[in-house]
Every structure is written in C-alpha cells, then in structure tokens.
C-alpha cells in the first residue's frame, strides 16, 4: 500500500521536504482518545536537532490538526496532522539536482520516477517526513500509555561507544523508561553519552558522520498479540522499522547473537509467577512464534551513518549519464540516531495500536 500502513489503525504519510507541507492521516483510532497538542509538540521537539552535534538550522515544526479531532478528543474518523514547511532555501539544490548523493535515494528515485520526483532536499525521501510520523505517533503513544503500555528507545551504541543494555527485570526496565523520558540524547549511562558526543564531534570535525544502534523496549503489551504466519509481531514491526530512513538492520531479543548460541542458552524457561506466565530470561524479546508472550518486547535497529558528509565523493550525473564528483555544502547532521529514537518509538506505537485494535476491536484503545 505504498504510503499507507496498517489495517485496523492505518497511517498515511505524505509530503516533500521543500513542498508546502508534510503530514499524516491517522485512520481507525478509537473515538474518545485525548489529543494532547502539548505532548505532540514535545515529541516533535525530540526529533529536532540540538546543540553542537546537530545542524545549526532551526527547523520549527508548527503543526495543525485539520480533521478527526473534536473538543480535544479523537472522533474515530481520520485524524490529519499537517506540518507546513518553513523557509527551505530551495535554491541550494538546483545546481546539484542531477548529481546522485551517495548513500541517498537520489539515483534509485530517478530510476523509479524518471525525473519527475521533487529532488529538492530529498523530496519525499527526506528524513523530515518522519516529523509527521512523530506527530501521529504521539497520539498513539499517549493512548497506549493509558493502557499501561510504555515504549522507549535508547542509543545502545553510537560512534563506537556502547551504552548499557536495558535492565533485565521489569521493575528496572520501567525505571529506565522513566529516566529516558524527554531526553534529547537518550542514553542510560551518562558517561556513555559524553563519550558518544565526543566521538560525534570528532567525526564532524573530520567532515564525516557516524551511525548507531537504537534499542527499544515495550512494557505492558498483553500476551497473544501477533498474527501468524505472515503478520507476526516481528514481521509487522520490522516492516515499519525498515521504512525509517537509514535503518539497515532489525533484531528482536538477542537477535544475531542468538545465531551463535546453543538451544539450551537460547530457550527462555517459562515460569508461573503471581498467577502470571513469565520467562526467567528474555532472549527471544517477548515474542514466541510471532506472538507476544507477555514479557517486555525488545528489539534493536541499526542506523547507518548520515549519508550527507562534507567530503568530495565519487558519483554520477544522471542527466549527462557520466561520472562526476560531488562536494556537499549547507547544513547537515553528523549523526541522526539520537533524533531517530522518537521516530522509532512513534512507529512502534502506531504498529501496536493497529495490532491491538485488530485483536481486541476498534474501541479497545479508548475503553
């Protein structure tokens, strides 16, 4: 379905970096969910660049809810969020429009859209479009939180520096999630944050960029969510996660590390505890057979380094169909992984709202 995702609760995404506006239509949300515009703004703020490690450009993200919200609550009909694009200096892009930026979608978009695509600033492929996902996701996150479901990501690794993993026990995990709330550089250990930022600045000084790994936890998801064979929880989450720009890997639980284990290590033993089924380890990330088992859902996304760097790169001019070199100018982030955390939280919330509505009915989320 291209730019629409979900069945019971669906999000449609539109817009280009330098067009009039970007936005999202959120369809199928239960009627009566509170829409907290302050929280939406706060979430959008987490996605914006900050400090020395981000571009000095001041993106402002004023948004308007143009449908689907009445008296501060969802109506049950499509909720549309519009984020106008501000001053976007389109002239920056005209002279390099036929030079495919390495690591970007420019060439593949050219081969798909035959030159009709809006090339300015990446157009529809720009990371800016994720702002609309964040705004829509804020409503989903709030609704889930009211149902006891908390979602949060931290930077597990960046620029060669590792943060500690989420606490293995649910109490510790809930504390970690609380501690990360509102963080613009979400890391669990302060020393790791400082080391990461130091390395990021070093890369920036060398006109280069870095990538990183986000680790996400979902607490409180009911057991029994996921639809085998093809709409397993892992399948649907990964579908959405790989749509986030720069994501090149997704793993659940211990993920790739599981491939090197023995079965006796990898199997999470089941136990009954206070009348509830738990696993004593959570190497499978809260998912067995594609269905949630009631334990925290855990996954990691690998983000490649920001492709925009300030070094001369080899590329092609697809108007002339010949080799060329490209040296980017302008303003670019040496890292985006910290800004991507709120994007991952948001798309996770959108997927879970859909799967929960499918499982428990249209009204469940607002009950």
Q: Between 178 and 247, whose beta carbon lies closer to its own copies?
A: 247
Least distance (Å) from its own copies to the CB of residue 178?
Answer: 26
Least distance (Å) from its own copies to the CB of residue 167?
Answer: 21
Least distance (Å) from its own copies to the CB of residue 56?
Answer: 19
CA 84 to chain centre: 21
Q: Between 178 and 265, whose beta carbon lies closer to its own copies?
A: 265
Residues 6 or more apart whose CB falls under 8 angstroms from that of 72 comprise 34, 35
Helix intervals (H) in 31-146: 37-47, 91-94, 106-113, 130-146
Q: Between 50 and 256, whose beta carbon lies closer to its own copies?
A: 256
Radius of gyration of the chain (CA): 21
CA 209 to chain centre: 19
Q: Between 54 and 238, whose beta carbon lies closer to its own copies?
A: 238
Q: Between 115 and 182, whose beta carbon lies closer to its own copies?
A: 115
Least distance (Å) from its own copies to the CB of residue 334?
Answer: 8
Q: Between 72 and 182, whose beta carbon lies closer to its own copies?
A: 72
Q: Between 182 and 224, whose beta carbon lies closer to its own copies?
A: 224
Helices 337-360, 37-47: inter-axial angle, 10-degree rounding: 140
Least distance (Å) from its own copies to the CB of residue 175?
Answer: 26
The answer to whether the bond into 181 is cis (omega within 30° of 0) is no
Q: Between 201 and 223, whose beta carbon lies closer to its own copies?
A: 223
Least distance (Å) from its own copies to the CB of residue 251?
Answer: 3
Nearest of 279, 260, 276 to residue 268 by alpha carbon: 279
Least distance (Å) from its own copies to the CB of residue 247?
Answer: 8
Residues 6 or more apart whose CB falls under 8 angstroms from that of 43 comprise 134, 135, 137, 138, 141, 342, 346
Least distance (Å) from its own copies to the CB of residue 106?
Answer: 8
147-150: long-range contacts at Cβ-Cβ below 8 A with a sequence spacing of 24 or more? Answer: 147/220, 147/356, 147/365, 148/220, 149/218, 149/219, 149/220, 149/221, 149/352, 150/174, 150/177, 150/217, 150/218, 150/219, 150/220
Element (H, E) at 337: helix 337-360
Residue with tokens 């090149």: 248
- What DSSP designation does 222 have? P
């Amino acid at each position: 379905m291209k730019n629409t995702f979900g069945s019971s609760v669906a999000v449609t995404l539109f817009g280009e970096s330098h067009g009039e506006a970007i936005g999202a239509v959120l369809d199928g949300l239960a009627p009566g969910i509170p829409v907290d515009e302050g929280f939406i703004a706060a979430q959008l703020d987490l996605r914006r660049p900050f400090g020395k490690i981000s571009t000095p450009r001041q993106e402002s993200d004023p948004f308007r809810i143009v449908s689907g919200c009445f008296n501060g609550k969802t109506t049950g009909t499509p909720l549309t969020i519009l984020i106008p694009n501000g001053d976007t200096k389109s002239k920056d892009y005209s002279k390099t429009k036929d030079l495919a930026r390495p690591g970007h979608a420019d060439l593949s978009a050219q081969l798909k859209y035959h030159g009709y695509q809006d090339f300015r600033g990446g157009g529809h492929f720009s990371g800016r479009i994720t702002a609309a996902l964040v705004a829509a996701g804020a409503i989903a996150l709030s609704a889930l939180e009211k149902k006891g479901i908390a979602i949060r990501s931290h930077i597990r690794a960046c620029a060669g520096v590792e943060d500690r993993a989420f606490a293995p026990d649910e109490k510790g995990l809930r504390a970690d999630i609380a501690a990360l709330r509102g963080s613009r550089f979400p890391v669990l250990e302060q020393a790791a944050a400082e080391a990461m930022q130091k390395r990021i600045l070093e890369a920036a000084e060398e006109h280069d960029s870095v990538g990183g790994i986000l680790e996400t936890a979902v607490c409180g998801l009911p057991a029994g969510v996921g639809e085998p064979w093809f709409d397993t929880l892992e399948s649907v989450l990964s579908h959405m996660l790989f749509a986030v720009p720069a994501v090149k890997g997704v793993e659940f639980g211990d993920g790739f590390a599981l491939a090197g284990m023995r079965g006796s290590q990898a199997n999470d033993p089941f136990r009954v505890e206070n009348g509830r089924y738990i696993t004593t380890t959570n190497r499978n990330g809260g998912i067995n057979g594609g269905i949630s088992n009631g334990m925290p859902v855990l996954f990691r996304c690998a983000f490649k380094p920001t492709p925009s760097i300030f070094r001369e790169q080899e590329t092609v001019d697809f108007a002339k169909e010949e080799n060329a070199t490209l040296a980017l100018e302008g303003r670019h982030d040496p890292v985006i992984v910290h800004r991507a955390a709120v994007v991952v939280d948001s798309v996770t919330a959108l997927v879970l709202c859909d799967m929960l509505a499918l499982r428990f009915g249209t009204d469940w989320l607002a009950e």
